[in-house]
A and B are shown apart, each in its own frame.
Chain A
Amino acid sequence: MKSYAYLLEGLTIQRVLVVSVVCVVAAAIVVRSVLNTYADLLLSALCVGYTSMVLFTIAGNIRQRRIPREVMQVAAIVAGSFLGTVMATILKNRDVTTMFTERLAGVSITMGLGFGFGCVVVAMYILREKAARDRENLMRAEADRQKLEKNVLEARLALLQAQVEPHFLFNTLANVQHLVETDPPGAARVLDSLIRYLRAALPQMRESVTNLGREIDMARAFLEINRVRMGSRMTYSIDVPDSLKERAFPPMMLISLVENAVKHGVDPCCEYGSITIRAAEAEGRLRVLVEDTGEGIKPKKGGGVGLANIRERLKALYGPSARLVIEEREPHGVVAFIEVPA
Chain B
Amino acid sequence: MSRVTAVIADDEPLLRAQLRARLSRLWPELDVVHEMENGRDVEAVIEQHRPELFFLDIHMPGVNGLECARAICDRAHVVFVTAFDEYAVEAFEQGAVDYVVKPFDEDRLAITVDRLKARIGTQPPRLEDLVQRLTSQLAPRASEHLRWIKASVGSNVRLIPVEEVLFFQSDEKYTRVVTHEAESLIRKPIRELLDELDPAKFWQVHRATIVNVDHIASVRRGLKDQAEISLRDHAETLIVSRAFTHLFKQM
Contact = CB atoms under 8 A, between A and B. Distances in A.
A175 interface: yes
A271 to B, nearest CB: 10
A200 B102 CA distance: 24
* Range for the number of chain B residues in contact with chain A: 35 or more
Interface residues of A, number: 44
A3 B224 contact: yes
Interface string A3-23: 100100000000000000000
Interface string A208-238: 0000000000000000000011111100000
Contacts of B158: 325-328
Interface stretch (B111-119, B131-139, B159-167): B159-167
Interface stretch (A113-121, A240-248, A300-308): A300-308
Contacts of B91: none
Contacts of A301: 142-143, 147-148
B49 interface: no
Contact of A178 (B17, B144, B196, B225): B17
B147 A171 contact: no
B86 A175 contact: no
Interface stretch (A27-35, A74-82, A98-106, A262-270): A262-270
Classify the secondary structure of A's interface with B.
helix
Contacts of A334: 159
Given A231-B14, A327-B157, A304 B37 contact: no
A177 interface: yes
B104 interface: yes
A328 B14 contact: no
Interface string A157-192: 000000000110011011111110110000000000
A287 interface: no
Contacts of A178: 14-15, 17-18, 21
Contacts of B234: none
A311 interface: yes
B86 to A, nearest CB: 6
B103 A174 contact: yes
B38 interface: yes
B12 interface: yes
A299 interface: yes
A174 B18 contact: yes
A324 B84 CA distance: 33
B152 to A, nearest CB: 10
Interface string A269-302: 1100000000000000000000000000111111
Interface string B7-41: 00001111101100100000000000000011010
A300 B159 contact: no
Nearest to B158: A327
B222 A174 contact: no
B146 interface: yes
A173 to B, nearest CB: 5
B148 A270 contact: no
Contact of A170 (B21, B84, B149, B161): B84
Given A297-B148, A301-B147, A302-B143, A229 B14 contact: yes
Contacts of B38: 270
Contacts of B181: 320, 323
Contact of A63 (B14, B17, B83, B222): B222
Nearest to A190: B14
Contact of B59 (A167, A175, A297): A167
Nearest to B155: A330
B14 A228 contact: yes
Contact of A167 (B17, B83, B149, B150): B83
B103 A177 contact: yes
Contacts of A166: 83-84, 86
B156 interface: yes
Which 10 pairs show the lowest CB-CB distances between chains A and B? A178-B18, A304-B161, A328-B157, A174-B102, A174-B103, A231-B13, A171-B83, A326-B159, A170-B83, A270-B62
Interface of B: 11-15, 17-18, 21, 37-38, 40, 59, 61-62, 83-84, 86, 101-104, 140, 142-150, 153, 156-161, 163-164, 180-181, 196, 221-225
Interface of A: 3, 6, 63, 166-167, 170-171, 173-179, 181-182, 228-233, 267-270, 297-304, 307-308, 311, 320, 323, 325-328, 334
Given A304-B148, A320-B180, 14 more contacts: A63-B222, A174-B83, A177-B18, A178-B14, A181-B21, A267-B61, A268-B61, A270-B62, A299-B147, A300-B144, A300-B146, A302-B143, A302-B147, A326-B158
